[in-house]
Amino acid sequence: MTISSWLQWGWYSIALTAILLGWAWTIVLYIAGGRFMDKLDQQPVGGDDDYLWVFLVPALNEGVTIADSVARLRSVTVKNKVALVINDGSEDDTGEVLERIAGPDLAVLTRVAPNARKGKAAALNNALDFISDTVLTSDLYSHWTPDRTIVVIVDADGRLAADAPSYVAPHFANPRLAGVQVRVAIYNQDSWLTRMQAQEFKIFGGLFQVGRSEWGTAFMGGNGQFNRMSALMSVSGPEGPWSDFLTEDQELGLRLLERGWVCEHEPRTNVSQQGLNSLKKLYRQRTRWMQGNLQVIGSATRLYAHHLTGLRRFDALMTLIMPVLQIIVGTAVIVALLGFAIFQIPLFPFGNLWALLFTVALTFGPLGMGVIVSARGLGWRGIWPVIKLFPSYYAYVWVMWPVVFLGLFRQLKGTKTWAKTEREVVKDPGAS
């Protein structure tokens, strides 16, 4: 037993533990998600009139999509609502478009230099102050308290389902609930890449988010994120509740959990957004997200909180370290492929049936579970779609796999600047 052999064994153990942990937790989330869905089925829809819904739309050069976004928000069937567009120093015709579509249900917060283009977090914080100082002090809305005011973040390319508030509102009956993230859908599924992105969100929401909702630790995702204003205020820092993280929503969610709030996912309604048809753009986006996830790991100390214990703390920890597990597993895959290519080390233990079955289960099991989620509720009819989808989605996962290392590289390099995702022209404004 040499140091080298111990190191090899250590790395092997770490990789295997990461794989087994991820797989096991996926199974746990699947089961928990099933229980949460059962509860949701019992939950009534409605009660949205009890809240003031303030839809925040950060807009930076969103002239292409902003009119559509505002139109859709106006079509949301809720009694008490305000659409607040944050024109964050746009240089295109965003301002003009907003002026053209002005109305009493549309508020525009225009940020100008030097207080513009300081990032989405700054824009949202500014917006929250605006709500607090301007909206809730106006005659129209002064009777609404922050506890009854729901701040909804909708990206400029987002299309919130018209009945979304009626599904979200019952969640807020729980006074401890700080936020609800609705399912994200892709409305331009006209290519393999966008269809796979849609599937990705379906799995994320349908497996991981609903599972976490069982313990109130669902992820806050930004677009389609509903937050109780008082909750936001309770975790506000000097600048506001949103901080300067690449994935500010995830970090916000962590602070909410730390404070003792619970967060849930609502899979029965959705916000649609634009999928990216360009692999390059998609890589940029996901690399940014990956880097953001790695950034948030630095806030792991927040898990040690009075009101975040037991299984909730564990799940929040798993969410935080998921990028690390992905890096470990990704590295193990590289090592395995190199071992196969150079040293002819077999990738699968064909000599032992049980070992082979176990390895195959480890390789395909977690992904299989995710794909199965997409057929939830379809019964036997869901089998064929799952079988058809599996190879395609499996290929998509491997295509996107390098972003794990790209994000790690950027994080290690300390690169923090990112250009925002470019929008594509909306082909069919009427489609959802």
Partner 1 sequence: MRISAFFVGLSAAALVAVPISASAAPTEEATSKTELPYTLSIKGANGIAETDAQIPEGTTPLALTGEITSTYTTPGTINVSINGRSAATVDSRTGGRIDIPLTQADVTEFGVPIGLTTRLESDKNCFAEDNAIASLVSASLAYQLAAPEGITSIGDFLSSGIPQFTVVVPTAASTDAQSAGLNAVAALSHSYGPPTQVSLVSTDSPGEAGFLSRQVRIVEQDATSDTSDSGDSDSPQPSNTISVDQSVMTITGAGTGLTDAAAALSNPDIAAITTNTASNITDELIYQPSPLDTTLSGLNAAPVHLEGIGTQTVELAINQPSFGSSLDSVEIDVTGAMTELPTGGQGRVDFLWNDELIDSIPMGMASTISNTLKVPSEQLRRTNDFGISLSYAPPGGECSPKPLGARADIDISTTRVLADDGDSLPPGFGRFPQVFSSAVPVTYLNNGPTTADLSATANLIASLERNWPLQHTYSIISPEDFTKSGTSGIAVGNPDEQNSPAVFTQAPLSSTTDATMLSSDGASVALTSDAPYAFLQAYLSDDDRNIIMLGTHSAGNEAQALTARDELAAYVNSNKAGWAVLTNQVVTKLPGAPIETLTIAQPAPPQSLGPYILATSIVLGLLAVLLLAWLWRRPRGTAPIRPGDAASS
- Which tokens sit at 182? 């609705």
Maximum Cα–Cα distance across the chain: 78
Closer Cβ to partner 1, 310 or 377, answer by number: 310
Query: Among 67, 162, 305, 324, which residue interacts with partner 1 (rule: CB under 8 A)?
Result: 305
* Closest separation in Å from C-beta 260 to partner 1: 4
Piece in contact with partner 1 (CB under 8 A), picked from 268-276, 309-317, 342-350, 357-365: 309-317
Closer Cβ to partner 1, 5 or 417, answer by number: 5
Are the CB atoms for 168 and 145 separated by under 8 Å?
no
Asked whether position 191 contacts partner 1 by CB under 8 A, the answer is no
Closer Cβ to partner 1, 37 or 325, answer by number: 325
Compose the 103-142 pattern: x for residues touching partner 1 by CB under 8 A, - for all others.
Answer: ----------------------------------------
215-248 residues labelled b (16+ CB within 10 A) or e (exposed)? bbbbbbbbbbbbbbbebbebbbeeebbbbbbbbb
Are the CB atoms for 247 and 322 separated by under 8 Å?
no
DSSP category for residue 417: -
Rounded-to-integer distance, Cα 185 and Cα 141, Å: 32
Piece in contact with partner 1 (CB under 8 A), picked from 86-94, 161-169, 245-253, 310-318: 310-318
Residues 6+ apart with CB under 8 A from 54: 81, 82, 83, 84, 131, 135, 149, 150, 151, 152, 229
Closer Cβ to partner 1, 10 or 298, answer by number: 10
Asked whether position 302 contacts partner 1 by CB under 8 A, the answer is no
Query: Among 35, 307, 416, 427, which residue interacts with partner 1 (rule: CB under 8 A)?
Result: 307
Helix 248-259 × helix 279-297 angle, to 10°: 30
Asked whether position 175 contacts partner 1 by CB under 8 A, the answer is yes
Task: Determine whether 251 is exposed, middle or buried from the number of CB atoms within 10 Å of its CB (0-12, 13-18, 19+).
Answer: buried
Closer Cβ to partner 1, 309 or 392, answer by number: 309
Compose the 223-252 pattern: x for residues touching partner 1 by CB under 8 A, - for all others.
Answer: --------x--x------------------
Q: Is 120 helix (H, G, I), strand (E, B) or coil?
A: helix
Rounded-to-integer distance, Cα 228 and Cα 213, Å: 17
Rounded-to-integer distance, Cα 372 and Cα 380, Å: 11
Kindly state the number of chain residues that form the binding site for partner 1, as judged by CB under 8 A.
26
Mode of pairing for the β-strands spanning 262-273 and 159-160: antiparallel
Query: Among 268, 288, 313, 410, which residue interacts with partner 1 (rule: CB under 8 A)?
Result: 313
Residues 6+ apart with CB under 8 A from 127: 56, 58, 84, 86, 109
Query: Among 117, 118, 259, 420, which residue interacts with partner 1 (rule: CB under 8 A)?
Result: 259
* Closest separation in Å from C-beta 342 to partner 1: 17
Query: Among 25, 144, 261, 393, which residue interacts with partner 1 (rule: CB under 8 A)?
Result: 261
* Closest separation in Å from C-beta 306 to partner 1: 4
Closer Cβ to partner 1, 259 or 281, answer by number: 259
- Which residues bind to partner 1, rule: CB under 8 A? 1, 5-6, 9, 13, 17, 147, 174-178, 231, 234, 259-261, 304-307, 309-311, 313-314
